[in-house]
Structure 1
């Protein structure tokens, strides 16, 4: 019998957390069948042994990808997707977990009842291991006509919460992402899928997303954060061009998005000069940009800005 859902779990050097991840998926309630495509990517620790143990105990659910030298995140993701048989695809990294046992049921019911939607996603709980704290991040929604533009500004969809139709694999190409040097697998996919159907953010909290020094989206220095932002900017420009949306989003619009994001990164790393330089580079300034200039022009107001975000204040 074909599974209703394929859950991709990519993991590397996560022997301490991968069992929690797999247990959270195996604990899902409801009558929907699912498979777990487990992509262990040549870990140097004991992750492989844990994965083999789970695959042996749950042979009808877990398909462990063959042992191979480390491929890297993008190729591992691509190879796992190729094995998916479900009508819907979900994912969970080897250090995150699904704390809501109804995640599959909630999202599958929505997708089954709304055929014009190609993806749904949910709210998350973010666990910062450095701070030892958790915070709830409510879901973000936008009207369909504004969704592409909203995603250009920021990727507000957390990958482990997403549920998309397998048919979307025909409109994206991870091989293309690899050739273009993209550093993330989800962001370009969202920007492509939204051109083929609607997205919906569900208010349920389903996933605990772990933010630590080993996370792919966590960077130890501002320089590395900027390199990642430059890569994301390449994604934005490529997708605007690919889907012929240059009349909606000009080169100036895209550059302004880039510099506004750099401003925020400067705050994260407490580099006031960098933040000020970045926001001054915005060409089509709005009222909020002028306020940001004022905040970054003074050390006292800048420190207040940082304190507003406890996460930034403790990095």
Structure 2
């Protein structure tokens, strides 16, 4: 690895790896080192969005940036903590590469050929826009589990990803379309940005490929993202924003179908949790716009009966 101090140069960057970090002084060095250890026949950069940490995270990042100035773009520290999504948006805007990879400040890569394999695939398969891989889960007690991919994960597209985010960000590489098509402004109101970014990337086409190789480790049950609440509500509202966004007009039918099914799932969950008023209110809203009123009513009554 190059250790000389060099001025940052953004020319001919193939991959930008963006790291979001906040109060992760115990993990961030391992994260950065695992990326610097990548073996590639192309240039890549690390773009680090450090969000005004109260521990030594910033100092660790500054030390790496001082030693690897040719590879690391450390963004200025905000005057105060700006939060996950604001940090996400400012950091992804600074990615100069043809492709973007993500590695959060408490995760790390274990395959030194991760980027090379993924870039080779996307360079040779222009009908694909996203590639992701297998990974391991690391638990607080030190246990490691290998993620077992379902059979339907190997080749996917927009109609699959709109239903659920099956891509672990620590494993992903995707085409950088942000230069010409900046992320939509409605993204700023949510608590995370990776899944909407993937959907934005493939809104005009582009398939998703899964590689079986284990390339990364994702820490489970720790960190900022683990503490976020209202994931289900955010997922549903993101889909509603996508539905009303003209850039996604070609997917209107599948988005509408997905929203309806997710809202049905929500009133089922409300009844299961004895939140009967919320369930009834949502049921009435769906009843007004759904053609299959009889089947919807049967579903609601069945879930209500099971609640008692």
Q: Specify every segment of 5 or more residues in structure 2 that has no aligned partner in the other structure, as ranges.
A: 1-10
Alignment of 1:1-315 (within 5 A): 1-69=11-79, 70-129=81-140, 132-139=142-149, 141=153, 143-144=155-156, 147-173=157-183, 175-178=185-188, 181-196=189-204, 197-219=206-228, 224=229, 227-242=230-245, 243-244=248-249, 245-250=251-256, 253-260=258-265, 273=273
CA deviation map 1:210-251 (0-9, x unaligned): 1224331445xxxx3xx2211110111222332223333436
Runs (4 or more) in structure 1 with deviation over 6 Å come to: 261-264, 275-278, 280-286
- Point out where structure 1 has 5 or more consecutive residues left out of the alignment: 299-315
Query: 1:39, CA displacement in angstroms?
Result: 1.2
CA contact (8 A) 2:16 2:100 kept: yes
Paired residue secondary structure (2:34): helix
Whether the 8 Å contact between 1:171 and 1:193 is mirrored in structure 2 is: no
Query: Using the alignment, how far apart are the partners of 2:97 and 2:256 within structure 1?
Result: 38
For residue 80 of structure 1, report the CA deviation from its aligned partner: 1.9
* Conservation of the 8 A alpha-carbon contact between 1:118 and 1:193: yes
Alignment RMSD (CA, Å): 3.3
User: Paired residues, what number?
Assistant: 278
- Structure 1 residue 150: deviation in Å? 2.1
- Distance in 2 between the 1:218 and 1:109 partners? 36
Pair 1:260–1:275, CA change in 2 (3 A): farther
How many angstroms does 1:71 deviate by? Answer: 2.0
Instruction: Give TM-score scaled by structure 1 length.
Output: 0.76
For the Cα contact (< 8 Å) 1:30–1:102, is it kept in 2?
Answer: yes
Change (3 A) 1:174 1:26: farther
Secondary structure at 1:190's aligned position in 2?
A: helix
Q: Distance in 2 between matches of 1:127 and 1:255?
A: 35
Larger Rg: 2
Distance 1:166 1:249, change over 3 A: closer
Query: Counterpart of 1:68 in 2: which secondary structure?
Result: coil
User: TM-score normalised to the size of structure 2?
Assistant: 0.77
